[in-house]
């Protein structure tokens, strides 16, 4: 069996208290012989003279003094990115489907009723796909709150020199998740 030394066994006495004294006579086991006077001696300090104080929780730093040292940093909680408004989030999702970057079924759990069928019909024709290398970009977004738990939004999408319009409606479900219930795209030819 191997015994491991713990820090509590090697604990240093605080500097503010005087070291305890012992009554011993050198060369006598267990104390002094009867009739001899007691000699007071202080216990050894534990460190050789001239050595400076060291931390009890960390080993000494043996690096040369020219080495650059990084100051200790306090741990911080990671900052969460700001939450997007549901209209912004759905505008980006719908744009990704209508440009062909994502398949239509990526919106399956984010749509209700006829909205999924309308989106599938729109995406089938690829109204925002371009062949000239220009990527459609969401330029402007607006929304209105007709009632609590509902958002009616519109978006302006630029496809090169042309601006297209998209409108959609979001409703808050009983599970506190937003779902798209209607989506329309302008009737312009691509």
Q: Tell me the C-alpha distance between 53 and 45, whole Å.
A: 12
Distances (CA, A) of 96 to 1, 71, 104, 108: 66, 45, 9, 14
List, in order of start, the domains of the chain with CATH numbers: 86-185 (3.10.450.50)
Residue 71 has pLDDT above 70, yes or no: no
**pLDDT tens digits along 20-62:** 444 444 555 555 566 666 555 555 556 666 666 655 677 777 7
Decide if pLDDT at 7 tops 50.
Answer: no
Give this prediction's pTM.
0.55
Write out the H or E segment, with its range, that includes residue 89.
Answer: helix 86-98
The two three-digit tokens of residue 59, written as one number:
């080993």
């Amino acid at each position: 069996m191997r015994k491991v030394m713990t820090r509590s066994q090697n604990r240093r006495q605080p500097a503010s208290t005087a070291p305890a004294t012992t009554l011993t006579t050198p060369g006598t086991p267990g104390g002094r012989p009867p009739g001899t006077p007691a000699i007071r001696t202080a216990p050894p300090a534990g460190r050789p003279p001239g050595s400076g104080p060291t931390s009890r929780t960390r080993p000494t730093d043996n690096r040369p003094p020219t080495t650059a040292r990084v100051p200790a940093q306090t741990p911080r909680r990671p900052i969460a990115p700001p939450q997007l408004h549901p209209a912004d989030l759905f505008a980006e999702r719908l744009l990704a489907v209508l440009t062909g970057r994502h398949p239509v079924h990526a919106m399956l759990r984010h749509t209700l009723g006829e909205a999924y069928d309308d989106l599938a019909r729109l995406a089938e024709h690829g109204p925002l796909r371009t062949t000239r290398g220009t990527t459609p970009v969401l330029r402007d977004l607006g929304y209105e709150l007709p009632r609590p738990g509902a958002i009616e939004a519109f978006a302006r999408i630029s496809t090169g020199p042309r601006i297209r319009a998209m409108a959609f409606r979001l409703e808050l479900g009983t599970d506190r998740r937003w779902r798209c219930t209607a989506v329309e795209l302008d009737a312009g030819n691509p």
